[in-house]
Amino acid sequence: MATFLKLETGWKDLETGEFFEFGQISINIYNYYHSAQQEYYENYDRLIDAHDDEGIRKLDDAYEEYLTDDVSFFISIIESYVNNINFNEKGFTAVKSFNTHNNKYISQEKQKETHEKLLEIIRDQGWNDVPEDTKVHPIDIFLMQSIEMFPPFSVVPHFINGKWYMVYDVANTNQILILDLIEMRNCEYKFHFCKNCDSIHIQKDKKNKYCPECSRNYKKVADKNRPESPRYSHKKVQNYLQNSEKFTSEERAAFNEESDFYWYRITGKQEKSIPDNYRTDIITVDNYISWCEEKHEEFKKIAKTRKKINS
């Protein structure tokens, strides 16, 4: 048994004192079972390559015992939610049942489903009371119908520090999953894949592209990612000119114009302007990077000369 206190921004486990912001319980459940799923596929591929039929049978049996109907249901709910990161009101990417009659392993077939297709999937699972002309968003229909599948749990109001809070007694954290997702929906939080490590995290702001761990190490992440872009060479020169007091705004603009001209030509974009005396041999990314490096060294020499003159 577990007892959770519902607060304004998340859940507090009254037995351990641990706090979970809305969505974190769902992510923890997803990551736990998703890692088991990945391990299954790795072992399955290895056994297939080794033509080990007996090993495959044992692996399937063990996995079928591990992936109970309840667990499969939990994962399918989260997968459906994760696949609708932006909550697109015009469509819904539904996840089909993880367990099929012919296969014991997880099926991750993902395809874009319309509103009508989702209703069909819901009805196939025995929920026949969904109105045909419903205006409710599919993800909300999915959540409303899903909560009926959960075992009952008690909800008791508690008066704490002058305010009333709802306390939920559940058999395990999986039971509170649907409520957790509903609160995410109410708070307009979204699941988001980290731009750097691809792990799932809770996105409260569209500007937040990284998970908490990568956000804490943002400078290291940014430094690692920047050199991968050819335009990083341009940015280095641009920053040098901007931070140096030895160059005029006209000189900075001339460099940007010539650099953009080469880059647009290489990437097939329409040039904004054609600089005077441009080079015709800069036609590849490598040519462009080399040119930027040459310009960087050239500007360094100019700055050094001007410094001597002014000293």
Answer for the pair 201, 27: CB distance below 8 angstroms, yes or no: yes
Nearest alpha-carbon partner for 5 in 160, 143, 152: 160
Determine the pLDDT at residue 298.
Answer: 92
Determine the pLDDT at residue 19.
Answer: 94
Half-sphere exposure of 9 toward its Cβ, with a 13 Å CA cutoff? 4
Rounded CA-CA distance 49/30 in Å is 28
For the chain, what is the radius of gyration of the CA atoms? Answer: 28
Rounded CA-CA distance 259/132 in Å is 58
Q: 191 pairs with which residues across the strands?
A: 202
Answer for the pair 83, 108: CB distance below 8 angstroms, yes or no: no
Nearest alpha-carbon partner for 28 in 136, 181, 189, 140: 181
Determine the pLDDT at residue 291.
Answer: 93
Determine the pLDDT at residue 107.
Answer: 34
What is the pTM for the complete model shown? Answer: 0.53
Distance from the first to the final alpha carbon of the chain: 77
How would DSSP label each residue in the chain?
A: -EEEEE-SSEEEETTT--EEETTHHHHHHHHHHHHHHHHHHHHHHHHHHTT-HHHHHHHHHHHHHHS-HHHHHHHHHHHHHHTTTT--TT-EEEE--SS-SS-SS----EEEE-HHHHHHHHHHTT-----TT--S-HHHHHHHHHHTTSPP-EEEEEEETTEEEEEEEESSGGGGHHHHHHHHHHHT-EEEE-TTT--EEEESSTT--S-HHHHHTHHHHHHHHGGGSTHHHHHHHHHHHHH-SSS-HHHHHHHHHHHHHHHHHHHTPPPS---TT--SS--SHHHHHHHHHHHHHHHHHHHHHHHHHH-
- The first and second tokens of residue 4, run together, are 């959770």
Q: What is the pLDDT along the chain (311 residues), one digit of tens a residue?
A: 788 999 988 999 988 999 999 988 888 877 777 777 778 888 888 888 888 889 888 888 887 777 666 666 666 666 666 665 444 444 444 443 333 333 333 233 433 344 555 556 556 655 566 565 555 565 666 676 666 666 677 888 988 888 898 998 887 666 788 788 888 888 878 777 787 777 778 888 777 778 888 888 776 666 665 556 778 888 889 988 888 878 888 898 899 999 999 998 888 887 778 888 888 899 898 899 999 999 999 999 998 888 877 76
- Count Cβ atoms below 10 Å from residue 284 Cβ, excluding itself: 11
Token look-up 């932006």 returns 86
